[in-house]
Amino acid sequence: MAFGTMGEVSRTSNDTLYKIKRSIASHSKRDKLSRRVLRSMPPVRMALGSVSYFDELFAASNIDFVIRQTSLKFIAIGLVALVAIHVTESKSVFHTEQNQCTTEQYRLRYHFSPAEHWINDPNGMVYYDGVYHLFFQYHPYSTVWGPMHWGHAISRDLATWEELPVALAPDEIGDIFSGSSVVDFTNSSGFQTSPDIAPIVAIYTSAGGAGQRQSIAYSNDKATTFTKFEGNPVLSDANSPDFRDPKVRKLSNGKWAMALAVRNKIEFYGSDDLKSWNKLSEFGADPEQGSHGGVWECPDLFPLNVTQVDGTTLEMWVLIVSINPGGPNRGSAAHYFVGTFDGTFTALPWQNTQWLDWGPDNYAAVTFSNEPQDRFIAMGWMNNWMYANNLPTAAWRGQMTIPRTLGLRDLNKSENRYRLTSVPTAELEALRNPQEYVGNNAEFMVPPQTVIQLTEQATFKNPAMELEITLEISQQPRFSLCAHNSGGEEICFGLNETRWYQDRSKTGNTGFNGEYAATLYASAPREIDDQEMKIRIFLDVSSFEVFADDGLTSMTSLFYTNEPLDMFYVNHWSDTGSSATVKVKNFKVWGLVCWFQERAQKLKLS
C-alpha cells in the first residue's frame, strides 16, 4: 500500500502500520533483517506536513534507509508486508516566524507530547552518552488509556525532543506499567556485551492476570533496542494487588535500592545485581505519614545537599510519592518527604506532607538517573486522572511538563523546615527567540484597582511565551499576572494577601468535563514573607506553569481557550484606598520557539 504525505495519513493507516511493526517485532528474534527494519521504522505523524527525523543511533542501521530533504522512502520486508511512505519536505521553524508553526488546536509548541494517541506517566528517564531518554506510558492504538507500552523520546539539550518507536511492548507476563532505568557501569547484572557500552537496564511493572510483578529488560546499544530478561519477573508479591512503579538507584555502597509503591505505602528493596531483590523496609503505612486520600504511586528517592542557615551543608534524602486522588486542589498530585535513608527511610519528625506542585496538572513526576551534572531533573505528566481521558485534544491525549531542576532549601523554621524547590532547567533558555522580546528595567508602581499591560509594546504575538518578573510588595496586596487575548479569555496567577492562587475559570472551554470544571481555581500558602518576589511563568498553547519565590511554590495547569493567549498584564486588585502596594521592579517577556513539528535538528538531514 502507498500513503501520501504524513498529513494525509488516516488513523486507519496509522493503525495498520503499527500492526505491521508489531508483526515484524514478533519475528525479530528469528530474523535479523526484521529486527533492523523494526528499529528503523519511524513513528507515524498525524501533524500536518511533519516527519520525525531519526536519531543517529537509528540512522546507523545497516539496512538501506535513505533520507532526503525532498522525500523519504521506507521499505520494510517482514511477514510479506510492504509499506511505502512518501513524505514531502517541511521547512524548519526553529527561531523563525511563528506562523510557520501550523499545529492542531491546543497542540503544545515546546512541551513534549506524542504525535498521536495516549500517554501518561514518565518512565525510565535516564541519561547516557550525550542523550536524555524519556520513556513514558503509551497506548499506541487509542487516545484513551489502554494496554500500556513504553513510548520513547530523546533529547540532547532538554529543550527539544524527538519521538522514537515504542521501546517495550506487552508480553505474556502482562502490560508494561511504570518503572525506571539505570546505567549499569560496573556490569553488576552481567548483561554487558561490549566493553565500550554499559548496559542500560529498565526495571518496570508487568501487569497481567497474575497481578503486578517487577520485570527487567536491558539494552546494549544505548537504548536503541531492549531485550527482556528471560528470568522475568524478578520480584513478586501475590498478596499485594497494587505492587508497582519501581524506582531504582545505586547507593554509595555499590548496592542497588528500589522504592516500590504498594497500595498506601512505599516498600524498599535491595539488590547486588538487579535480578535478585530482598525487602529492606517500608514507609507510609502509618496514617500520620503523608496523605492517604488515594493510592500511592510512582515513588522517587534521591539525596540532595541543603545549605543550612548557619552555612553548613547537609545531605538529606527526598522521597516523592504521587497520590491518586487526594491532591491539595482535588485529584491526582505528588507530595514529598525529607529525611534520611540507610535502607530505611526516616522522615524528619516535623517534616510531613509537602506538595511538589500545587496546581491540578502535574502527576507522577520522577527524575533522570545518571544526570551528567549530578542534578536531579524531574518531569511530570501534565494532566489529572479526574479528566485525563476527556481532554479536548484530537490526535493525542497527554503531555509532559517542562524539565525542572530540584533543590532543597532551609527555611529556618522550627517546624516543616526544609522545602523542595523546583525551577525550570537552565537549558530552556535556548527556547527564547531573540527576535521576540520585550522588557523594562525601570521600576513602576501599580496602584490598587489598576491593570497595566506588560506586552503592550511587543511587536510579536505568540501563544508560547516566558515571563520573568520581579515585584516588591507591602501590606499583603491582592494582585494577578494574567496571560490573555483580545477576546477576554485569560489564565491568571497571583497573590491573595497570603496565598498564591491560579485561576483558569475564564479560559473558554471549561465545560468539557465536570471534574475539570470543578478544578478551575487552585491555591497554595506562600512559604515566606519577603517583600521582594521573583515569578517565572511558562505559557504554551494550552499549558501554564508558574514558579514563585525561586521555586518554593510551583503551580501547573492545562487550559483550553477558543483563541490563543498571546499577551500579559499585571492587575493590582486590592480595594481602592488600600495601603497595600505593588511595585514592578523589572520584567522580561520572550516569545518561545515552536519545535514540535521539525525538532530543529538539521544535522539529521546532512
Active site residues: 121
The closest alpha carbon to 337, from 325, 346, 328, 327, belongs to 346
Phi-psi sector, 116: left (phi>0), alpha (psi -120 to 50), beta = beta
Residue 485 φ/ψ, nearest 5 degrees: -130, 175
In Å, how far from its chain's centre is CA 41? 25
Alpha helices in 364-504 (DSSP H): none
Phi-psi sector, 424: left (phi>0), alpha (psi -120 to 50), beta = beta
Distance CA 466, CA 212 (A): 42
Cβ–Cβ contacts within 10 Å for residue 164, how many?
24
Distance CA 437, CA 567 (A): 12
User: Would you call the peptide bond into 325 cis, given omega within 30 degrees of 0 as the criterion?
Assistant: yes
Give the DSSP letter string of 75-86: ---BTTB--EE-
User: Cβ(405)–Cβ(527) under 8 Å?
Assistant: no
The closest alpha carbon to 334, from 387, 377, 291, 397, belongs to 291
Task: At 400, list the grid cell.
Answer: 509532559
User: Cβ(593)–Cβ(462) under 8 Å?
Assistant: no
User: Cβ(7)–Cβ(49) under 8 Å?
Assistant: yes
Cβ–Cβ contacts within 10 Å for residue 502, how many?
24
Quote the longest CA-to-CA distance of the chain: 80
Task: At 417, list the grid cell.
Answer: 523546615
Distance CA 469, CA 462 (A): 18
* Cα torsion through 538, 366, 395, 429, rounded to 10: 30
Task: At 171, list the grid cell.
Answer: 508480553
Cβ–Cβ contacts within 10 Å for residue 63, how many?
14
